[in-house]
Amino acid sequence: MLVVDDERTISDTIAARLRAEGYDVRVAFDGPTAVTECDAFGPDAVVLDVMLPGFDGLEVCRRIQAARPVPVLMLTARTDETDMVIGLGVGADDYLSKPFSMRVLVARIAALLRRSDRTTRSDVVVLGDVSIDLSARLVRCGGAEVHLTRTEFDLLAHLASRPRAAIARETLLEQVWGWGAGASSRTVDSHVKALRRKLGGAVIRTVHGVGYALEVPR
């Protein structure tokens, strides 16, 4: 996730909230840096202010969409409908006026990612030498089939649904095992250990203090 806003208090607050939600977040404060970060980082979504130094958010949106389509939520202090129309015209997916509720921001981003996932998701996820066939529930490593337990596959598939994003152990326990708060996170750790043994240690990255993320070769 990339957050772009020249008001550092706003950008830092948004980034902190998104990190708490389990997203891997970088921050940029001007137009040129935002484009450079998008090229280098390849974010799953961009939160983008309209008014930026260097060049504005509309130009940022135009450039990053030309390079690689990515969901964009634009932020603006303006209320002019024309700005919204122009923003949507250069590739923005949604618009949020300042001041805004952080809960609404998080919900809008989640909705953008769900729509993007439905549009672009393939049945087969490839991570270097590892391929995950989600519909056939088949995993191969270096061309050879890897035998996973049902839970190991479900855990791997859930991590693959948000490549590079840090997913909290508590979220994994809830989504994969169906367990609520208070369940032991050691269950997640032991299954990740088993997956690393079968697929190679570099496939799943530990995000200290949060949980795990699936590594995607660039």
Assign domain 2-120 to a CATH class: alpha beta
Enumerate the domain spans of the chain: 2-120, 124-214
Q: What is the largest CA-CA distance in the chain?
A: 57
- Nearest by Cα to 57 from 112, 2, 1, 4: 4
Q: Residue 33's pLDDT is what?
A: 95
Instruction: Tell me what pLDDT residue 119 has.
Output: 45
Q: Classify residue 19 by burial, with Cβ atoms within 10 Å: 0-12, 13-18, 19+.
A: middle
With b for 16 or more beta-carbon neighbours within 10 A and e for fewer, the 139-164 pattern comes to: bbbeeeebebeeebbbbbbbbbbbeb
List, for residues 179-197, the tens digit of each pLDDT value: 654 556 788 898 999 999 9
Fold of 124-214: Arc Repressor Mutant, subunit A (1.10.10)
pTM attached to this predicted model:
0.55
Q: What's residue 80's pLDDT? A: 58
* pLDDT at 60 (0 to 100): 92
133-145 pLDDT, tens digit per residue, is 887 888 998 888 9
Ranges in the chain, pLDDT < 50 = 118-121, 181
